[in-house]
Structure 1
Amino acid sequence: MEKKTHMISEEHLYAIALRECKLIGDITFYKLVRIFGSAKETWENVKKEYKKTNGIGLKIISDIGNIDHLKFAEKEIKFCQENNIKIRLRHYNELPSLLSECDDAPSILYQKGNFKKEVKTLSIVGTRNMTSYGEKFIHDFFIETKSDQYTSVSGLALGVDKEVHEQSINHHIPTVAVLAHGFNFLYPSKNRKLSEKILSENGALVTEFASSRKPDRENFIQRNRIVAGISPSTIVIETGFGGGSISTATFANNYNRDVFALPGKITDKYSQGCNHLIFQNKATAISSIKNLTESLGLGKYKHQMEELFPQNKSILELTENQELIYKLIKKNPQVFLNDLIEKTDLSSHKILPLILELELLGKVKTLSGRQFIAI
């Protein structure tokens, strides 16, 4: 469909009303507007022309046409106009392009502030209980990439998210906060000043939730798919088992995006989630900030300088088994785990920890499908 100029129009009214209908989720919404041509046409014709709906059941469309939803949409538009909030429609190609590619992309994205669609985005997430280890990594990463053109994305939570937004602002990198509620709220309230700073420093706040939606628990998981879908890469700094960042990494994997995780000691609670993502081949281990920025296509100028003035690197001593696995991977690029098992007579539960150790040393990289290459 053609992109319209960004005026709040009749189509915005019907889109909000349609999305408010019970049982109409983002995937069904998108199917219907593609069949009927617009949200307005869907609203007015779906029941008369039910045979067109390609298997979308009567129960699902039963709430379309409910006048209460139009009244809700009128109030929402008034709120957006009064608070300088843009209403982005997926079917008008107004979402960030990578996000729009996701099957379950939000039908509507409410946006406050500036978000340049053409600038590369990088999602960075982690625990609310950030340690000094995670904090130092974030500081070092932003120092390394301060000359690069990109926009950071996180979730405005306490801990890692807050640090990501603050360091972005400190280094004049635009930052986008994805909220798990409507613009009538700000959660956590401690981050109100930070949210204002994000807007004043050329960043944005975005949400798929209408203004009256509170920060309910389930909204946070739903929000995480936007954080994952909006960027080609997601970095997980620190997280425990079952932390919210695990869901963001899972969404990123499902969208075929790159995931990087900061490994840590197996005894550290907030490294266990990252270590597990690496162990399951759901994330690439971050072995150094230099290797990470190279993988992301950032920090290029600095790295060229390092090549002109190389630093002395201490030679790493590998154990006998590490050496064995490393040589096999070097000799057989993109070798599969099963092939390593055959060539070494070692079991997978002995080989995988060795590979993890080699990844941490920056000697080996894991590819999808349990394939490995030497770096």
Structure 2
Amino acid sequence: MALKVGKGAEAPPFLVMDVIAAANARQAALPPGAPGVLRMEVGQPGTGAPRGAAEAAIQALRAGTPMGYTEAFGLRSLRERIAGHYREKYGVAVSPARVAVTVGASGAFPLAFLAAFDVGDRVAMAAPFYPPYANILTALGMRPQVLPCDASTRFQPTVAMLDALDPRPAGLIVASPCNPAGTMLGRGELAAIADWCEANGVRLISDEIYHGLSYGTEEATAAGCSGSAIVVNSFSKYFSMTGWRIGWMLLPEDLLRPVECLAQNMVISAPHIAQVAAEAAFGCAEELEANKAVYARNRALLLEAMPGAGFGTLAQAEGAFYLWADVSDRTQDSVGFCARMLAEAGIAATPGVDFDPERGHRFLRFSYCGTEATVRDAIARLRGWR
């Protein structure tokens, strides 16, 4: 008799992970001395954790600090430091009691979804979107409600789009800066969306993991717009600590205990050593801003050069470290196009179908969080490959 396979096993793949595997295989197959694969597929900073964060972890280990379980919501000192960050950066008063330290932003989303929604609930999001939003919701028995967005709204949702939804969703996910387009919601736009959610009984989840990485556009936090919103952030992007798996949520009062109970049962706590390093990372602004300056130079190089390399239609890259390129004049098969680009030009990028299953066959995402040398080499290869 065949064994049952759960519905959660039907969650779609996160295709960028498949691209990573293909790029790794391509690199391994290259002969010695051959030009290597240029990695523009993944949103992982080319730098490691800031020196002060790594040193704090080393010192804690040398001192014999027990690295055991912490409270489910994390070390009190880290939660206080995160609350201070909102006061310093945004002028928003946040109680440390509302801060939940999580196993990366990826660990935050299942906790938020399970606490805020029921099986069968619709949760809206703009397309293109970060694939795990929809994939996690699907695995949990919830229903992604996709809002097709384009350049006319800067790939962001509008109140007019939300007003047209029938039935109303139980939740709405927004991201600013967003992955993959890099566009942002202004303070007024975010406040209007938050007000709409409050008026319509819709739980707002604001993905702010690319805060710190914007280029001339002010960053607004939903924590300053709504007392009922869930704010998700992470040490992975601006703080360059992807492998440490450490992030946080700001929670509304009504979800504090539900999320805490879920975290106690599902993860117990985020890694203690990562929490020590994360707290120290707040003191590494000089190094982190230097990293950001590299991304800014990479962005400027690409925005100037990509049209001449055959990628002339790009989203407004206001933040994060991605370019969302419309390649409909060259292909209607972004998966095949990316495979060819990897095989023939040695450049790994992510097909748009990962972020928009319906229209993503016409788009690619390029990540520019590597070195400036990588970006310059990629531009030269793309010009030749065209």
TM-score (norm. length: structure 1): 0.31
Tell which structure's C-alpha radius of gyration is larger: 1
Larger RCO (CA under 8 A, 6+ residues apart): 2
TM-score (norm. length: structure 2): 0.31
